[in-house]
Structure 1
Amino acid sequence: MRADAVGGWPRLAAVWCSAYGAANVWWLANPGSPFAPPEEVFSPGRWMAVALAFSAAVACSLIAAGAGQRRPAPARWTLVGVAWVAGAGLILYSYMLAISVATLLFGEVDDWGSLLARAAGATAGALTLVCAVAEQRRVRRACPHCARVHGRSPERRTDPAPWWARLAAYVAIAGCSVRVAALILDSVTAHRPPFALGTPFAVFVVLLILAGTLLPLALVHRFGRIWPRWVVPLAGRDVPRWLVLGPAWFVGAGLAGYFGVAGMAAWLLGEGNLAQAPVWRVSMEMFGYTAWGLGLLVAAVSYYGLTRPACPLPNSPYRVPMPLA
């Protein structure tokens, strides 16, 4: 399939976002309904979901209609910007999805309505971002066969990650280190172990630490794109890109949304149990998690470009000479 082919994605996104927005309108009008999930805490309110959903629906509808291709570049970039803001906003509004999925894995889900509503909101945001990326590629005149801007985009998996991606990966590792340090310091202060080995929480912490060390390194180093020699059965083969990208985007969006948006808001407003916690611990948790999430998201952008399939047309007319160093 051609990289610039939009197909039915914008139409699907427009319908999905409209349905999600309509559901939130109904929940606003019927707050006491047993089918209405509770509003997300520390968010501006359900009206925000309505505004974001219908903005995304309009942007995706215009992309589906091909309106952007018949308008000047500034208008098309505006359409791309609206789609990016609305899509990212819907994902951030559904920041509790990561927590809901974590509780689902441990069999402790107590509100399926909220889980499904958050999943619907995050899906609406993801579909909108897919449309934004597709339209952005056309505005940038990217190669329709591989989505690269030849001469400016990496052409092979073996190309090095850019400096800003490596910086973001190590920021994520630093954020993870700060959070783990806060956990250890808090345990030492309370004279108790950080967690009991063998418990579900211990397994969760181990997985989380791997997501803060191995995952960011895989995003910017060769072993995350090409299986290294010590992985004997797979050595030299391509690492499936979504094996790395999926966890990076899910964990990054979850941490940035839950702690960077909701956690910071709760801390600044002095709500919840954060007001009684020591300032050093809360600051280490909030800033550590936020840097961790944002670092993963930025590094994942680079990984996404580095692991694109090779261009099927070596002599594509979209290729331009590489600039001289």
Structure 2
Amino acid sequence: MTQVTESPVLPRQARTPGAVRRRLAGWPRWIGYVAFLVLLAYGLAQTYWASGGAGFPFGADDANPEYSAFEHVGRDRLAPWLAVGFLLSAGVALLLALPGRRRVPTGVLLGATAASGAAVFFTLADFRILGNLAYVFMLKFSAINWTVINQVFAVTAVALMAASAIAYQRRTTDACGNCGRTGAGAEWTSPASAARWGRKAAWTAVVVPLLYATTRWAWALGYPLGISDELWQEGKEDHLWILGAALATMGALGSLLTLGLVQRWGEVFPRWMPGLRGRRVPISLAVVPAWLVSLMVTIAGVMYIRLHFQGAFDNEKDDWGATVPETIWPVWGIALAAAALAYYFRRRGTCGHCGRG
């Protein structure tokens, strides 16, 4: 009798789009372990640098230390603190990942997560993440440096930690791990309510970057709005204002795309898009990029606020147009994140896991 063997097709079936989607939908079960491994790896990297290893990217060792919150702090003092911080964060992520409730109070775990995120977002990371993204779209890959790569890694690590905290909070409050809904729905998350406050947030996210872009366009057109004639002339000679106008235009176009979060063409592909016209826009296609941009512009805006408090611009009070418009970017970032969240609430429908709608 011929022996029946297992079909070699099965491993391929496990990699079908449906299987991938199911695995991604199970993120509340595994996200904490991923966060733990990433934070542990970076904590060990910081330990290596603290012990004298080469390549430390932050503080006085930064390629551009003037942007750093630790401009005058060397590796010997900063790396040990970062090592302790990331290793402790890894421990918190593991506690969040393990099933069941922890003896450590939930408030402590969530507070530690918030503290880790704030420390990275507001001290280690800065506007260069956003700037390098713009350079990538302009195919200027040489602008990316080691510090920016490490900033992205650190931000990703604490973002994973935040996601694991969300999963833990839902698990310990008997909410659905995927949608976060409980038996009693909150009024502010209803589609009708989200449509109202989401529209206000979307228009705020459109106006704020246009205020910033106005200064850059004015400089490119020959009007030194908010800067001295001397600084404008220097920038003109170096062609900085053309580049600045190009980056501002990219930001302005991106802000106009925000209207898709409250317009029909943000839910159904318009007729002028061959091959996609009439199809529903995937929720993640609108929400994920919006949340990523909101995070980056908030980080950039906070950096400018921090530099103002540090007195970095005290000698440039006549050139307020170069630094003040960026300080309102956190408003842009928060509004954009809120608009994307409202879009998600409006379109998510009935949860495929808990059946709540």
Give, in whole Å, the separation in 2 of the partners of 1:51 and 1:155.
Answer: 39
Instruction: For 1:3-152, list aligned pairs within 5 A.
Output: 6-30=28-52, 34-39=54-59, 41-44=67-70, 46=78, 49-50=82-83, 52-67=85-100, 69=101, 75-92=105-122, 93-95=124-126, 96-105=128-137, 106-109=139-142, 112-144=145-177, 146-149=179-182, 151-152=184-185
Q: Is 2:310 the partner of 1:269?
A: yes
Q: Which residue identity is paired with 2:248?
A: V
The Cα offsets for residues 178-213 of structure 1, whole Å up to 9 and x where unpaired, read as 2122224444125899998xx766553332112222
Instruction: Go from structure 1 to structure 2 and tell me whether the alpha carbon gap of 1:126 and 1:279 turns closer, same or farther (over 3 Å shift).
Output: same
> How far did residue 52 of structure 1 move?
4.4
Give, in whole Å, the separation in 2 of the partners of 1:23 and 1:55.
Answer: 14
Q: Which runs of 5+ in 1 are unaligned?
A: 320-325
Q: Which residue identity is paired with 2:260?
A: A
Q: Which residue identity is paired with 1:298?
A: A
The Cα offsets for residues 31-84 of structure 1, whole Å up to 9 and x where unpaired, read as xx54222436332564564454234312211022225x2559xx2243233324
Q: How many residues align?
A: 307
Task: Report the TM-score when normalising by structure 2.
Answer: 0.70
Matched position secondary structure for 2:112: helix
Give, in whole Å, the separation in 2 of the partners of 1:242 and 1:201.
Answer: 30
Contact 1:98–1:254 at 8 Å: present in 2 too? yes
The Cα offsets for residues 141-176 of structure 1, whole Å up to 9 and x where unpaired, read as 223564433552699997563544333222222211
Instruction: Go from structure 1 to structure 2 and tell me whether the alpha carbon gap of 1:4 and 1:12 turns closer, same or farther (over 3 Å shift).
Output: closer
Give, in whole Å, the separation in 1 of the partners of 2:278 and 2:184.
Answer: 26
Correspondence for 2:289 among 232, 247, 252 = 247
Give, in whole Å, the separation in 2 of the partners of 1:80 and 1:21.
Answer: 20
Which protein is richer in helix relative to its size? 2
> How far did residue 254 of structure 1 move?
1.4
> How far did residue 236 of structure 1 move?
4.5
Give, in whole Å, the separation in 1 of the partners of 2:251 and 2:121.
Answer: 21
- Deviates further, 91-100 or 124-133: 91-100
> How far did residue 100 of structure 1 move?
3.1
> How far did residue 297 of structure 1 move?
2.3
Q: Which residue identity is paired with 1:207?
A: M
Task: Report the TM-score when normalising by structure 1.
Answer: 0.76
> How far did residue 253 of structure 1 move?
1.4
Q: Which runs of 5+ in 2 are unaligned?
A: 1-21
> How far did residue 233 of structure 1 move?
4.8
Matched position secondary structure for 1:291: helix
Higher relative contact order (CA 8 A, sep 6+): 1
> How far did residue 20 of structure 1 move?
0.9
Give, in whole Å, the separation in 2 of the partners of 1:298 and 1:54.
Answer: 32
Q: Is 2:357 the partner of 1:297?
A: no
Give, in whole Å, the separation in 2 of the partners of 1:234 and 1:155.
Answer: 32
Instruction: Go from structure 1 to structure 2 and tell me whether the alpha carbon gap of 1:28 and 1:296 turns closer, same or farther (over 3 Å shift).
Output: farther
Q: Which has the larger radius of gyration?
A: 2
Q: Is 2:352 the partner of 1:312?
A: yes
Corresponding residue for residue 323 of structure 1: none
The Cα offsets for residues 102-160 of structure 1, whole Å up to 9 and x where unpaired, read as 33443253564223312211220221122022112223422356443355269999756
